[in-house]
Amino acid sequence: MGNQKARAIASVLIVVLALVLIVTGVVGMSRRATATGEEILTNMRTRAVLIATGEGAVESYVAIAADQAREAAQAAGASMSEIREAVAAAEEEARNNSSANLLDYATADTTGLDAALSTLRAALMDYRAEEAAAEAAYVEQMQATAAPEETEVDTSQLTSEADLEAMLAEEEEVEVDMSGFVATERMNELRAIADEKYAGVCTELMALYDTLDQAALDTLEGTIFDIVSQSGDDFAREYDRYNAAGGAAALSNRFGAWVIRYGDDLVYVGVGLILAALVVFFYPTLVKKLGVPRMIIGLFFVLLCVVALIYDLSLSGLMSNTLVRMGMNSILVLAMAPGIQCGIGLNLGLPIGIVGGLIGGLLAIEWQIGGWLGFVFACLVGMAISAVSGALYGMLLNRLKGSEMSVTTYVGFSIVSLMCIAWLVLPFNSLELRWPLGTGLRNTIVMSDATSFGHILDNFLSFSIGGFTVPTGLLLFMALCCYLVWLFMRSRTGVAMMAVGNNRRFAEATGVNVDRMRIIGTMISTMLGAVGILVYSQSYGFMQLYTAPRQMGFVAASAILIGGATTSRCKISHVLIGTFLFQGVLTLGMPVANALVPQSTISETMRILISNGIILYALTKSGGEQRA
Amino acid sequence: MRKDFRTLMRDNAVTIMFVVLCLVAFFLSGQSLGYVAYELFGRLSRNAFIVLALIIPIIAGMGINFAITIGAMAAQIAALWVTEWQIPGLGGFAVAALMTVPIAALFGFLIGKLLNRMKGQEMIGGLILGYFANGLYQLLFLFIFGNLIPLHTDGLVIKGSTGVANTIDLNRIQAALDGIWRLDFNTAFYVCMALAAVWFIVRLAMKKTSAKSGGISLGVLAAVVLIYQIPAIKAGFATLRIPVVTFLVVGLLCLFNVAIMRTRLGQQFRAVGQNMTVANAAGINVDRVRVIAIMISTVFAGLGQLIFVQNFGLFQTYGAHEQVGLYAGAAILVGGASIVRATNGQALLGCILFHTLFIVAPLAGTNLLGDAAIGEYFRVFISYGVIALALVLHAWRGRSEKRDLRALSEKE
């Protein structure tokens, strides 16, 4: 009881804190567009410009002093080293003098400069908008002309998943060579206006810095333009830029400005905290319903969302990626379901089905069957192969009741390494599949959109709303497969199969043919594995051979376990929830990890920990049951 | 006699198959005996210890302890710090060994606790636990060592990247153990043979063995010595130099494995391995015994990995431990062990056969099919396949035994 009270108090405290943060954040954000926000930015902008020009002024002053010293020394007929010494001494002196004599920022009257900068900024913003529009038009035009040219991808050097991942990200934005871009007339006009305004700023600046000359100001023009305005400016970006240029010193109320700048982040943290408070409050119920690891992963997902928002990563883009990866992996995860339901537990021998699917895909490419026909052909061939291997595999498993998991793992591993040899010796001829020199098939086979069935599901009826792309076809296919499996589970055979999975002895007693049901379940699981890898590959754009399928069984198993399945019970909802959570954590994890620790592989480490941790957890839960 | 032969064939199918495979691959590879012997002794000195570390958990009924990769990780942590402290030679090796023992013991304790919660699934649990620990290991080496805990020795941390470098150079303790005392093969061979002869004679004299089997043993010894006299064979082994101390350490571990089975603890291992329920009823603390078995195995695996890396003089920071469990497990099964029975002899024989195949398979693949990669994949396939086969055979046998029992009871 006392425990519950403590939890209630803690959650109330967290909620209060969260509300304070949210209110502060909302107030802060609402003040961005008001006079206060404007004033903050104006002050910072002026200070940033003053600091930048101040440095420029010092440099020009120093340069003049150095020149004078050199001339004087040369006139006196000094040797080279003496000249150098004299110049260095003069530079040093000039630097010290000017730094001391430079403007006192706090007392200087900057009202004129403020106004001049504001007009400059307005003019520059017009210019930048025009520039962006013109560039976009140019890129579009260039892409239209360059599109038929298929970019040849050299996959020979890509080995790790990370490389492919990086390539996948790049693929979206085709680089357009901007060297041919010429400024439009309208841009030139706007630029001239901006230059005019800059002249006004120069006058103000020269009034403040007496050492500053026009030449120095001309060289500073680019710097000042970049400080004052950049394309895509909003409050946060402007604030950050001025802050980086030292503008924060001009603020009288730094904390207030900070609240306004980070108002949105405060709101995000507040929302996150409210969720945390809910978790604290309903902790026992949640643990009972979800189990500790699932709750941790769920919370981790929310945390990643909040951090992604704080780092201003595009959450809609990330969510759209998550959706793609969910669809891409869902069939493989779905393949776990019949295995669990028919009582063989986690089908870690999934690579057996995957290999069948890969052969189907390879045949489609070899015989150049592209498009929908190719996909259907590959699926049918894959399912046919997997039906046979699945049946054999099921018969093997029937002789090993009770120790399926370790055997399936090693049988799967053996098949994958046996297929490694097969990939080397199978008589495929297409150069898309083979190495041009040397023997065997390539490690990663590109599935082009044009000649093969790359992205065929992803692109079917896909649409995007503001950066959020919905891969309609992929999701429809996922839904279709899930529906079919769901339907099967409600058929006579399906019900009998579930009975076997739930309680073998009971099913046996009621006259169900246990061995036959287990073979059917294993076959369906293996066949879904074949379809799953094809869906995965078409979405990925690559087929991965050799050792790549080895760990896929583990990934699929961990996803369904995260969704709430155990080694003996699962539902379709577990498949969907699990795939979404697992892929969501991975998709969000990579950019967030890179934002926190640049250039790190921490997201890969995270994948290993989550994926294997959840399987271990499931094993500790199942071990006890089996002994009992 | 005929039935004996058939049982022998059936019970040792894997080993016999492997002997044939090794012979075929050896002839296909076209390598000289000398080369194979040279490679084999190198590999034996590196790997035998770690294979022997698998025996106790098998006896204690926990199957092949694939979590020995975690022991290897403990050794690599120790090796990293010895490199950081720049302790050279045997001293460095000793410090690393002293560090490995407590770290590996702690890891082993945790592994044992976890495996106790998944009784009956220890092997798959150990395998996945190894993967999981690999994630923690990466976390440790990429983000803690070199960042939170700074490292100062050159080459341990690469500037501009996070974490410990991909390869750790152990040249300070390279061959620290191997190099203490090396004997040429000729001398070592005769010394071994003489010791074996003395051993058999003593046992014969003490009437521990029958005259017949003693005679056979001595005869085999004599035959081996005679075969060795063939000049071609003698020449093949002539260039070998045996790292005596390393093999002595391996021998000590064999003695330990034998000796511990004569103690109370050893009997408890056996009791727990045969039947946990009965052992529990007999007043044995089953969980505790299992934890001890895993701890011993993990510590020995750590020391074994230390022997391995000192032989090489460097190790791949993020990869050296990954295949340890697979190769050691496959090796002991090849020697004729099952997942419930294993002896020193099986471990050593398996080690010899498995590594012979490892040496000759790529070359055989090149000669047979014109591609070394085939041989490479073949030996990986063999490693996994042997384990899968052993598991299948075991499950099969268990079932048929049960069926026999049931049939027997029904008859009664």
Q: pLDDT by residue (tens digit) across A358-403?
A: 888 888 888 877 778 888 888 899 999 999 999 998 888 887 776 7
Q: Do A399 and B395 touch (CB under 8 A)?
A: yes
What does residue B284 show for φ and ψ, rounded to 5 degrees?
-90, 135
Task: Tell me the average pLDDT across A281-291.
Answer: 78
Domain region containing B332: 2-411
Chain B closest-CA separation from residue A162 CA (Å): 16
Q: How would residue B298 be classed by pLDDT, with cut points 50, 70 and 90?
A: very high
Q: Which of A180-189, A238-247, A521-530 has the highest mean pLDDT?
A: A521-530
CA distance A345 to chain B (A): 12
Q: Could you tell me where in chain A the CATH 1.10.3470 domains are found?
A: 314-627
Q: How many contacts does A have with B, using Cβ atoms within 8 A?
A: 132
B114 vs A contacts (CB less than 8 Å): 616, 620
What's the pLDDT score for residue A250?
A: 67
In the numeric block, the tokens 């009992």 are attached to A628
Q: How far is CA A549 from CA A350, A412, A536, B232, in A?
A: 9, 9, 11, 47
Measured between beta carbons, which residues in chain A are less than 8 angstroms from residue B370?
439
> Looking at residue A276, what is its pLDDT?
84
pLDDT mean over B379-403: 77
Residues of B in contact with A622 (CB under 8 A): 118, 121
Name every chain A residue with its beta carbon within 8 A of the beta carbon of B162: 597, 599-600
Tally of domains within chain B: 1
Instruction: Work out the percent of chain A whose per-residue pLDDT is above 90.
Output: 3
The mean per-residue pLDDT over the stretch A351-362 comes to 89
Of the given ranges (A200-214, A326-340, A418-432, B357-371), which has the lowest mean pLDDT? A200-214
The reply to whether B377 touches chain A by the CB within 8 Å rule is yes
A314-627: CATH number: 1.10.3470
Identify the pLDDT of residue B99: 93
Q: Is the pLDDT of residue A1 over 60?
A: no
Residue to mutate among B147, B287, B381, B399, with most A CBs inside 10 A, is: B381
Q: Residue B381 is encoded by which pair of tokens?
A: 């396939």
Whether A157 contacts chain B with CB within 8 A: no
pLDDT per position as a tens digit, A185-203: 777 777 777 777 777 777 7
Mean predicted confidence (pLDDT) in A612-624:
75
Query: What tens digit of pLDDT does each residue of A226-280 get?
Result: 777 776 667 777 777 777 777 666 666 777 777 777 877 888 888 888 888 888 8
Burial of A582 (0-12, 13-18, 19+ CB in 10 A): buried
Tens-place pLDDT, residues A144-155:
665 444 444 444
Residues from chain A that touch B378, judged by Cβ atoms under 8 A, are 421
Quickly state the pLDDT bin for B297 (edges 50, 70, 90). very high
**Residue A624's pLDDT band (boundaries 50, 70, 90)?**
very low
Pick from A399, A616, A627: CB nearest B132: A616
Which of A395, A397, A417 is the best substitution to test chain B (most B C-beta atoms within 10 A)?
Answer: A417
**A55 Cβ partners below 8 Å, 6+ apart?**
none
Cα dihedral sign for A20, A21, A24, A25?
Answer: negative
Q: Is the pLDDT of residue A159 over 50?
A: no
pLDDT of residue A291: 73
Q: What is the CA radius of gyration of chain A?
A: 33
Q: Do A400 and B392 touch (CB under 8 A)?
A: yes
pLDDT at B293 over 90: yes
Give B362→chain A minimum CA distance, Å: 12
State the pTM of this model.
0.77
Q: Does A316 touch chain B (CB under 8 A)?
A: no
Cβ contact B377–A417 (<8 Å): yes
Q: What is the pLDDT of residue B57?
A: 92
- Of the pLDDT bands very low, low, confident and very high (cuts 50, 70, 90), residue B133 is very high
Which residues on chain A are in Cβ contact (under 8 Å) with B139? Answer: 602, 605, 609
Find residues 201-240 of chain A whose CB sits inside 8 Å of chain B: none
pLDDT of the residue at A151:
42
Kindly tell me if the per-residue pLDDT of A167 is higher than 70: no
Poorest-pLDDT segment among A598-602, B165-169, B219-223 = A598-602
SS3 of B230, please? coil
Q: What is the pLDDT of residue A98?
A: 65
In sequence order, what DSSP letters do the residues of A37-63 get, joined into one string? Answer: HHHHHHHHHHHHHHHHHHHHHHHHHHH
Note whether A417 contacts B127, CB cutoff 8 Å: no
pLDDT band at A100 (very low <50, low <70, confident <90, very high): low
Separation CA A288–CA A269 (nearest Å): 27
- pLDDT, mean of residues B179-204: 83
Instruction: Compare all CA atoms of chain A with the CA of B365 and give the residue at the minimum distance.
Output: A421
Instruction: Tell me if A400 and B396 make a contact (CB, 8 A cut-off).
Output: yes
Quick check: A413 contacting B, CB < 8 Å? yes
pLDDT band for position B71 (cuts 50, 70, 90): very high
pLDDT of residue A312: 75
Lowest mean pLDDT: which of A115-124, B109-118, B334-343?
A: A115-124
Chain B residues inside the 8 Å CB shell of A405: 121, 124
From B202, B199, B210, B209, select the one nearest B255 (Cα to Cα): B199
Check CB contact of A395 with chain B, cutoff 8 Å.
no
Place of tokens 């003395």: B198
Specify the pLDDT at position B69: 93
Q: What is residue A489's predicted lDDT score, i.e. its pLDDT?
A: 86
Residue of B nearest to A623 (CA): B118
pLDDT for position B406: 63
What pLDDT score does A145 carry?
Answer: 65
Q: Is the pLDDT of residue A161 over 60?
A: no
pLDDT digits over B314-327, tens only? Answer: 888 888 888 888 88
ipTM: 0.83
Cα–Cα distance between A304 and B305 in angstroms, integer? 38
Q: Does A555 touch chain B (CB under 8 A)?
A: no
A361 touches chain B (CB under 8 A): no
Q: What is the pLDDT of residues B242-287, one digit of tens each?
A: 888 888 889 899 999 999 989 999 999 999 988 888 888 888 899 9
Contact B239, B34 (CB under 8 A): yes
The answer to whether the Cβ–Cβ distance between A616 and B399 falls below 8 Å is no
Contacts with B, A 586-605, CB within 8 Å: 597, 599-602, 604-605
pLDDT in the model for residue A171: 45
Cross-chain Cβ contact A400/B384 below 8 Å: no
Looking at beta carbons, which residues of chain B come within 8 Å of A601? 138, 142
Residues of B in contact with A413 (CB under 8 A): 384, 388
**For residue B106, what pLDDT is reported?**
95
pLDDT tier, B98 (very low <50, low <70, confident <90, very high otherwise):
very high
Q: What is the model's pLDDT at position A163?
A: 47
What pLDDT does A104 receive?
A: 64
Q: pLDDT tens digits for A27-40?
A: 887 777 777 777 77
- Chain B residues within 8 A of A604 when measuring between CB atoms: 138
Mean pLDDT, rounded, for A123-129: 78
- A392 CB near a chain B CB, below 8 Å? no
Question: What integer is the mean pLDDT of A536-551?
Answer: 83
Chain A: nearest CA to B124, how far in angstroms? 5
Asked if the Cβ–Cβ distance from A400 to B124 is below 8 Å, we say: no
Residues of A in contact with B124 (CB under 8 A): 348, 405-406, 409, 619
User: At residue B90, does pLDDT exceed 50?
Assistant: yes
Going by C-alpha positions, the residue among B358, B307, B293 that lies closest to residue B331 is B358
Question: How confident is residue B78, by pLDDT bands cut at 50, 70 and 90?
Answer: very high
Among B114, B123, B374, the residue with its CB nearest the CB of A406 is B123
Smallest CA–CA distance, residue A612 to chain B, in Å, is 5
Phi-psi region of B205 (alpha: psi -120 to 50; beta: other; left: phi over 0): alpha
Burial class of B11 by CB neighbour count within 10 A (0 to 12, 13 to 18, 19+):
middle
Contact present, B4 and B315 (Cβ < 8 Å) = no
pLDDT digits (tens, 9 = 90+) for A422-473: 888 887 777 777 777 777 778 788 777 777 777 777 777 777 776 677 788 8
Question: A210 falls in which pLDDT band (50, 70, 90)?
Answer: low
CA nearest to B133 within chain A: A609
pLDDT on residue B256: 92
Q: Give the integer Cα–Cα distance in Å for A95 and A105.
A: 18
Put simply, the answer to whether B395 touches A439 (Cβ < 8 Å) is no
Nearest-Cα residue of chain A relative to residue B140: A605
Indicate if the pLDDT at residue A7 is higher than 80.
Answer: yes
Tokens of B353: 């056969």
Give me the pLDDT at residue B74, please: 94
User: Which tokens go with B297?
Assistant: 């195995």
User: For B117, which residue in chain A has the nearest alpha carbon?
Assistant: A620
DSSP state of A152: P
A288 or B123: which leads in pLDDT:
B123
Chain B CB contacts of A608 below 8 Å? 131-132, 134-135, 138
Which residue in the set B120, B132, B143 is minimally distant from A602, CB to CB? B143
Element (H, E) at B324: helix B324-334
Half-sphere exposure for B73 (CA within 13 Å, toward CB): 25
Q: Which of A160, A400, A401, A403 is the mutation pick for testing B, counting most B CBs within 10 A?
A: A403
SS (H, E, C) A393-446: HHHHHHCCCCCHHHHHHHHHHHHHHHHHHHHHHCCCCCCCCECCCCCCECCEEE
Q: Tell me the per-residue pLDDT of B43-67, one tens digit each, with 9 for 90 and over.
A: 888 888 999 999 999 999 888 899 9
A602 to B142: CB separation less than 8 angstroms, yes or no: yes
Chain B contact set for A399 (CB, 8 A): 392, 395-396, 399
Q: Name the residue among A410, A439, A601 with its Cβ closest to that of B388.
A: A410
Mean of per-residue pLDDT scores for chain A:
78
* Strand A468-470 with A542-544, pairing: unpaired
